[in-house]
Amino acid sequence: MITPPLNAIRAFEAAARHLSFSLAAEELHVTASAVSHQIKTLEEYLDIKLFIRQTRQVTLTPEAQAYLPAIRMGLDQINEATRRAMSRQDTVIRINLAPAIAGGWLIPRLYDFYNKHTDVEIEITTSMKLVDFNRSDVDLAVRFGKGHWQGLRSHLLLNELLIPVCSPKLLTKNDHPESPEALLKFPLLHVKPKATDWQEWFQAAGIAHEALKMGAGFQSSPLMLDAVEAGLGYGIVSRHLVEQELASNRIVIPFDISLIGSNGYYLVYPENRCKDHKVVLFRDWVLNQTKTTTDGGRSQVAQNHL
């Protein structure tokens, strides 16, 4: 590594431009002696003389004149890169959310955001854990719960609308369930953190049961849906998270009976950032997206709603 000290480079460029250590010092907000010291440091580093020092002025040596253009180009590139980096910070919105709602609901809608905000970039990270806003650069997050988190402002995006789902090929079998009660005889796939979803669904449907025949448990909804598509059993999931799978017939609803869960998906961000431009921009857009999603989801199951 032969890069000289940056402060010495800046002092040299300013002094060369002004042909004055004093004027360079004013620009850099240091003393003239500090500029002189930095230039001496650079001369020793390069082992060449850069300035001819006279009583009232300084002039560049031939070596300095040859060195200066490349230095100016380098500093210009640093300044431009810094400007772009700072500008990018202002136009990047960082969002953290669970994999299920990221792939099942948000990402399919982002084309609309990009069409309206062509100069803004979205960075998405997924996690099953709650993001700590104090220890990350995340701007907003989506959390699953009841909407109350200390120090955070929350907006309901989606109610959890639980429905049973399965692979279409299961319904072609001779022993496929012909009624909701018959599901009790089949493996019930579930997400481990939400293992009571099936129990609540059967209870709300008025179906008596002693012990459920639980099938495989999974850490997340996307994993469970992979098992459902593979025909390993019947799963239960929020309808809003499987719009694409239902539309493409990768999974189907054996019985159109839905249950609004006690929790929901909430957009959250720190209280002290409620007026932040990036937060407001994304918040307003995503809340507008939920208006049609929520209304549509409810109307589709109105006749069979529990």
Asked whether residue 268 is domain-assigned, the answer is yes
Residue 55 confidence (pLDDT): 78
Q: Can you tell me the distance from the alpha carbon of 23 to that of 93, in angstroms, rounded to the nearest whole number? A: 42
Token pair for residue 222? Answer: 């996307």
Which of residues 43 and 296 earns the better pLDDT score?
A: 43
pLDDT of residue 303: 29
CA-CA distances (angstroms) from residue 47 to 4, 43, 62, 74, 218? 12, 6, 14, 20, 67
Verify that 169 and 294 share a domain, yes or no.
yes
Of 8-22, 68-82, 148-162, 221-235, which range is least confident? 68-82
Domain membership of residue 112 (yes or no) is: no
Here the CATH number for the domain that contains residue 255 is 3.40.190.10
203, 248 contact by CB (below 8 A) = no
In a shared domain, residues 60 and 172? no
Is 188 within 8 Å of 254 (Cβ atoms)?
Answer: no
| Residue of 54, 48, 52, 16 lying closest to 35 (CA atoms) | 16
Rounded CA separation 77/6 (Å): 14
Q: What is the mean pLDDT of residues 90-117?
A: 90
- Of 161-175, 200-214, 250-264, which range is least confident? 200-214
Per-residue pLDDT, averaged over 229-241, amounts to 92
pLDDT at 54: 84
Token digits of residue 166:
């399965």
Q: What is the pLDDT of residue 89?
A: 59
Q: At what angle do helices 6-18 and 21-28 cross, to 10 degrees?
A: 130
In this structure, what token pair is assigned to residue 264? 């929901």
Per-residue model confidence (pLDDT) at position 226? 94
The pLDDT tens digits for 265-281 are 999 999 988 888 889 99
Question: What pLDDT does 304 receive?
Answer: 35
**pLDDT at residue 88, as a whole number:** 58
- In this predicted model, which residue has the larger pLDDT, 84 or 16? 16
Choose one of 72, 90, 108: the last residue of a domain: 90
At residue 305, the pLDDT reads 32
Confidence of residue 87 (pLDDT cuts 50, 70, 90): low
Three state DSSP letters for the chain: CCCCCHHHHHHHHHHHHHCCHHHHHHHHCCCHHHHHHHHHHHHHHHCCCCEEECCCCEEECHHHHHHHHHHHHHHHHHHHHHHHHHHHHHHEEEEEECHHHHHHHHHHHHHHHHHHCCCCEEEEEECCCCCCHHHCCCCEEEEEECCCCCCEEEEEEEEEEEEEEECHHHHHCCCCCCCHHHHHHCCEEEEHHHCCHHHHHHHHCCCCCCCCCEEEEECCHHHHHHHHHCCCCEEEEEHHHCHHHHHCCCCECCCCCEEEEEEEEEEEEEHHHCCCHHHHHHHHHHHHHHHHHHHHHHHHCHHHEC
Of 84 and 60, more confident: 60
pLDDT tens string 176-212: 888 899 888 888 999 887 778 898 899 888 888 777 8
**Residue numbers of the domain that contains 16:** 6-90
Final residue in a domain of this structure, among 47, 63, 90: 90
Average pLDDT of the chain to the nearest whole number: 87
Give the confidence band of 293 by pLDDT, cuts at 50, 70, 90.
low
Q: What percent of the chain has pLDDT over 90?
A: 52
174 and 287: one domain?
yes
**Does 103 fall in a domain?**
no
Residue 157 has pLDDT above 60, yes or no: yes
Averaged over 286-295, what is the pLDDT? Answer: 77
Torsion-angle region of residue 287: left (phi > 0), alpha (psi -120 to 50) or beta?
alpha
Q: Band the pLDDT of 35: cuts 50, 70, 90.
A: very high
Asked if residue 97 belongs to a domain, the reply is no
Query: At 73, is the pLDDT very low, low, confident or very high (cuts 50, 70, 90)?
Result: very high
Identify whether 121 is part of a domain: no
Determine the pLDDT at residue 256: 86
**In degrees to the nearest 10, what's the CA dihedral of 99, 103, 105, 106?**
90
Q: What is the pLDDT of residue 296?
A: 37
Q: What's the token pair of residue 296?
A: 């549509």
Domain boundary among 90, 108, 132: 90
pTM over 0.85: no
| Per-residue pLDDT tens digits for 49-68 | 999 988 778 999 999 999 99
What is the pLDDT averaged over residues 66-80?
90
71 and 183 share one domain: no
Q: Identify whether residues 163 and 242 lie together within a single domain.
A: yes
Tokens describing residue 225: 């849906």
Domain tally for the chain? 2
Residue 80 — φ and ψ, nearest 5°?
A: -70, -40
